[in-house]
């Protein structure tokens, strides 16, 4: 099957990350021929090493310079996150002898309304129909991106490399330390959280991802007047910090598998953290109208639905604090201490959630069901 996948980059590690994973899985596992039309192809540079073996994956620059009237549409068209594909291309779709299947891949949400909106048709000009495809956490949604053997690869890797955390991050191995990966937006409540780590009961090794998370942590460190260093590792009290280079998607998966707790942001890293089967804290993208709170609460309720009520409450409480830029330091510290003390239960719950989600068909399997039947005029 020939597939055109369109992506406009809003968040380098979000929109582009999801589309790259999707394109890669379609090629590797399903033998599809994919053209990934992306307006900022340079953001894929960190993953160039993965492209050599993907001979049927073509990266195409989406720009006004393209003469879209001369582009022959593929058998199926995926419009990622309502990115509005070019009008001339759509006209070519309408004029095709066999009209391409057309899906709009929506953002992930755990909200209840998604089940009713998934696969709703939207009639378009020229006799075309676009289906709205919603990823999600239930059988009535489109599922989550998950490679065919992901959990098996994860378990084999963790068993084979039990101390990979040290190899990847550069921290000296410490059986007693709490290993935390940090990936988040600039508004994380770091000035309230870092003192809790520094003065905590347990040594903490904090691996900070490249980009906004590193910049935010350095600002918070400076604001707290903590000792800075040109060395690779910063240290204060019980807390040690290392700043990571840009990681490939495979390396980031391995970081998530090796950590004890994963602080993640956006959609792509949230899903990968779910498959890691480790406790996670989601830094959701904030919206001015506050609607992100509904989305966040829907996720925490879904995440905690199948487990112990006490564990769910602990996860909810700290996640909501983490996303509240006005949270009092004392409240965040209290919730963090409760969270850390419940690590065995939180870890088991995370494993159970991953296993439960893996029982439903993955996103690519469900998506291809909808793309496999062509519409005839």
Query: Do 112 and 11 lie in a common domain?
Result: yes
In order, the DSSP letters of 63-103 are STTS-GGGPPP-SEEEEETS----HHHHHHHHHSSSBPEEE
* HSE-CB of 332 using CA atoms within 13 angstroms: 20
φ, ψ (nearest 5 deg) of residue 289: -85, 0
In a domain, 362, yes or no: no
CATH number at residue 176: 3.40.50.2000
Output the pLDDT for position 51: 62
Q: Please list, in sequence order, all residues whose beta carbon lies within 8 angstroms of the beta carbon of residue 271, skipping any fewer than 6 positions away.
A: 108, 144, 145, 146
Output the pLDDT for position 11: 63
The model's pLDDT over 79-118, given as tens digits with 9 standing for 90+, comes to 999 999 999 999 999 999 999 999 999 999 999 999 999 9
Output the pLDDT for position 334: 96
User: Of 119, 142, 165, which marks where a domain is finished?
Assistant: 142
Over the range 64-83, which residues count as b (16 or more CB within 10 Å of their CB) and which as e? eeeebeebebbbbbbbbbeb
Give the other-Cβ count within 10 Å of 139's Cβ. 11
pLDDT (tens place) for every residue of the chain, 377 residues total? 999 999 999 865 678 989 999 999 999 999 999 999 999 998 888 776 566 567 889 999 999 999 999 999 999 999 999 999 999 999 999 999 999 999 999 999 999 999 999 999 999 999 999 999 999 999 999 999 999 999 999 999 999 999 999 999 999 999 999 999 999 999 999 999 999 999 999 999 999 999 999 999 999 999 999 998 877 899 999 999 999 999 989 999 999 999 999 999 989 999 999 999 999 999 998 888 888 999 999 999 999 887 778 898 999 999 999 999 888 999 999 999 999 999 999 999 999 999 999 999 999 999 999 988 544 33
Interior angle at CA 175, CA 320 and CA 322, nearest 5: 10
In a domain, 22, yes or no: yes
Question: Token pair of 288, please?
Answer: 């001015």
In a domain, 366, yes or no: no
Query: Do 136 and 160 lie in a common domain?
Result: no
Query: Do 133 and 161 lie in a common domain?
Result: no
Query: Do 73 and 48 lie in a common domain?
Result: yes
User: Cα–Cα distance between 171 and 202 in angstroms, integer?
Assistant: 16
User: Of 89, 118, 142, which marks where a domain is finished?
Assistant: 142
Output the pLDDT for position 50: 63
Q: Which residues form the domain of 102?
A: 2-142
In a domain, 377, yes or no: no
Distances in Å between the alpha carbon of 297 and those of 53, 101, 244? 40, 34, 30
Query: Do 184 and 200 lie in a common domain?
Result: yes
Output the pLDDT for position 376: 39
Query: Do 163 and 191 lie in a common domain?
Result: yes
Strands 33-38 and 57-61: parallel
Query: Do 95 and 63 lie in a common domain?
Result: yes
CATH number at residue 128: 3.40.50
Output the pLDDT for position 52: 58
In a domain, 375, yes or no: no
Query: Do 68 and 216 lie in a common domain?
Result: no
Output the pLDDT for position 266: 87
Q: Which of 105, 50, 97, 44 is nearest to 72 (CA)?
A: 97
Instruction: Tell me if residue 345 falls in helix, strand or coil.
Output: helix
Query: Do 58 and 97 lie in a common domain?
Result: yes
Which residues make beta-bridge pairs with 279? none
Over the range 263-302, which residues count as b (16 or more CB within 10 Å of their CB) and which as e? bbbbbbbbbbbbbbbbbbbbbbeeeeeeeeeebbbbbbeb
What's the pTM? 0.94
User: Cα–Cα distance between 73 and 2 in angstroms, integer?
Assistant: 9
In a domain, 235, yes or no: yes
Number of independent structural domains in the chain: 2
Query: Do 198 and 310 lie in a common domain?
Result: yes
Query: Do 77 and 36 lie in a common domain?
Result: yes
Query: Do 171 and 113 lie in a common domain?
Result: no
User: Of 121, 142, 163, which marks where a domain is finished?
Assistant: 142
In a domain, 164, yes or no: yes
Output the pLDDT for position 289: 83
Distances in Å between the alpha carbon of 16 and those of 5, 38, 244, 296? 11, 8, 20, 22
Q: Which residues are catalytic?
A: 15, 267
In a domain, 15, yes or no: yes
């Amino acid at each position: 099957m020939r597939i055109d996948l369109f992506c406009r980059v809003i968040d380098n590690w979000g929109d582009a990350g999801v589309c790259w994973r999707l394109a890669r899985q379609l090629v590797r596992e399903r033998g599809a021929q994919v053209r990934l039309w992306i307006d900022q192809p340079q953001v894929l540079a960190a993953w160039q090493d993965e492209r050599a073996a993907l001979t049927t994956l073509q990266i195409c620059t989406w720009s006004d310079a393209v003469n879209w009237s001369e582009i022959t549409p593929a058998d199926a068209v995926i419009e990622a996150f309502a990115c509005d594909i070019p009008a001339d291309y759509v006209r070519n779709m309408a004029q095709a002898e066999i009209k391409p299947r057309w899906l709009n891949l929506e953002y992930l949400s755990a909200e209840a309304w998604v089940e009713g909106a998934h696969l709703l048709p939207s009639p378009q000009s020229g006799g075309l129909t676009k289906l709205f495809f919603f990823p999600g956490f239930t059988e009535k949604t489109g599922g989550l991106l998950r490679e065919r053997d992901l959990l098996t690869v994860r378990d084999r890797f963790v068993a084979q490399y039990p101390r990979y955390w040290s190899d990847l991050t550069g921290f000296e191995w410490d059986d007693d330390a709490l290993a935390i990966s940090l990936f988040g937006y600039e508004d994380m409540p770091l000035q309230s959280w870092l003192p809790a780590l520094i003065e905590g009961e347990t040594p903490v090794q904090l691996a900070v991802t490249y980009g906004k998370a590193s910049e935010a942590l350095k600002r918070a460190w400076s604001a707290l007047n903590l000792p800075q260093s040109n060395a690779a590792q910063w240290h204060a009290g019980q807390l040690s910090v290392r700043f990571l280079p840009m990681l490939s998607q495979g390396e980031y998966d391995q970081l998530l598998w090796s950590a004890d707790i994963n602080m993640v942001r956006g959609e792509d890293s949230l899903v990968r953290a779910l498959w890691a089967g480790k406790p996670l804290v989601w830094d959701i993208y904030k919206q001015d109208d506050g609607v992100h709170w509904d989305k966040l609460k829907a996720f925490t309720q879904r995440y905690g639905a199948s487990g112990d009520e006490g564990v769910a409450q602990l996860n909810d409480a700290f996640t909501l604090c983490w996303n509240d830029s006005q949270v009092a330091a004392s409240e965040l510290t209290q919730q963090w201490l409760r969270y850390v003390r419940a690590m065995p239960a939180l870890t088991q719950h995370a494993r159970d959630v991953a296993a439960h989600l893996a029982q439903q068909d993955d996103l690519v399997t469900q998506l291809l069901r909808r793309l496999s039947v062509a519409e005839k005029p």
